[in-house]
Every structure is written in structure tokens, then in C-alpha cells.
Amino acid sequence: MDCNKIITIARQFGSGGREIGEKLSERLGIKYYDKELISIAAKESGVNPEVFENIDERATNSLLYSLSMGLYSFGNNFPSMNEMPINDKLYLLQHKIIKQVADEGPCVIVGRCADYVLKDRKDVVNIFIYADLDFRIKRAVEIKDVKPSKAEQVVLKTDKTRANYYNFYSGKKWGLPENYDLCINRSALSADKAVDVIECYLKSIR
């Protein structure tokens, strides 16, 4: 189908939101952004991509503090990036890049508060992919090479980190339906079937 939307995908760790996002972008013939956002941010800032990878989707507690203390000057240019904590630097870079890629046309963007960053656009569809805890633990072990004995802890902790990141930068609460147009528990669905459901939703709103 022809798609004229920007589709953001928030996802629980181990739910397969990334795979679903990739397949969706293939099905719709539109671009896909996930880790790609880091590469672009690294290129634009000259920071080593590995540095960004380690802090991707992790909040500091410092941005609001720094803002409230007037440490950043927001003007036409980016705020004094050199003094900024690296997490906030990456957030602001990704914020800018998400807006840029959305301006370029329909695409799928995974994670990174994209629903919040693009909240003023009318052509955005926000999707939340989640799954039962057992499903996510199993998938973390099989797909993400997490040790079985650590899997539950990793799943829960990664989601907590993602939630903190989202809640901190958006001021909203990650994983609440009100932030999304469609929330799919994909425990009972293959990635392709989950894409079917999303495609059906996209057809329904045309």
C-alpha cells in the first residue's frame, strides 16, 4: 500500500518491535530509522558512534537542571554542545535528526521519543509494541544472546531505562496507551502478522 505517514514505534525490550518496524518499512517501501539515527548523530557531531551507542536512550538528570540554571543558550544554533552532558547532546541531536528525516517523507522511526518529538505533525502514527514477560525473556535469550539466568533482569531493567528516558525528555509516561494510536501485544503474532495488523490500521485511517 502507499503510505504517506511517519510511523513511530515504541517497544518493550524483547518484544520484537525493531523487527516489526523493519518489516513494516519494507512492506510500505519507506525508510527505516533505528540505530541509523546514531550514525547520523555521530557524523553530524564528530563524536565516535560507539560513545553514542553506549548511552543511547538513556536519560541524564541534568538537562532540566542545566536549563533551569541557564547553562544552555538556545538560539538559532545548537546550545553550547561542548559543555553539555553527552546523553543530552545525543538526545538533542536525535531530536533534530528525527524532525529532519520526518520532513524528508514517510518513514518508520523506532524508539527515541519520536512520538513526542513529532507531536505537532498531523501525519504521524504512533505504535507501541509490547509482549508478555515470558515471551520477552525467551526472545532475549534466543535473539539477543542474553544469559537465561539474567534474562528477566535484563528485560525489566532495559524497559526501565527506556521508560526513564522517555518520561524524562517527554514529561509523559512511556507505555501508556494515550501516547499511541495502536498498541499491539505481539505475543500471539509473528512479526509479519503484526505488520498485517498495522497495515490494516493504516488503511483504516486513510
Helix or strand or coil: residue 45? Answer: helix
Q: Which CB sits closer to its own copies, 80 or 190?
A: 190
Q: Which CB sits closer to its own copies, 36 or 132?
A: 132
- Give the footprint of its own copies on residues 174-193 (CB under 8 A): 175-178, 180-185, 188-189, 193
Least separation in angstroms between residue 170's CB and its own copies is: 17
Binding segment (CB under 8 A) for its own copies, from list 43-51, 137-145, 150-158, 194-202 = 194-202
Please report the sign of the dihedral spanned by the C-alpha atoms of residue 46, residue 49, residue 54, residue 56: positive
User: Contact 60/85 with Cβ under 8 angstroms?
Assistant: yes
Please tell me the distance from the alpha carbon of residue 32 to that of residue 21, in angstroms, as a whole number. Answer: 7
- Give the footprint of its own copies on residues 128-147 (CB under 8 A): 128, 130, 132
Please tell me the distance from the alpha carbon of residue 201 to that of residue 120, in angstroms, as a whole number. Answer: 21
Least separation in angstroms between residue 112's CB and its own copies is: 20
Report how far apart, in Å, the C-alpha atoms of 108 and of each of 5, 60, 86, 133, 185 are: 9, 26, 25, 25, 19
Per CB under 8 A, 165 contacts its own copies: no
Q: Which amino acid is at 19?
A: E
Q: Which CB sits closer to its own copies, 52 or 128?
A: 128
- Give the footprint of its own copies on residues 92-131 (CB under 8 A): 128, 130
Q: For the chain, what is the largest distance between any 2 Cα atoms, rounded to a whole number of angstroms?
A: 50
Q: Which residues bind its own copies (CB under 8 A)?
A: 128, 130, 132, 175-178, 180-185, 188-189, 193-194, 196-197, 200-201, 203-205
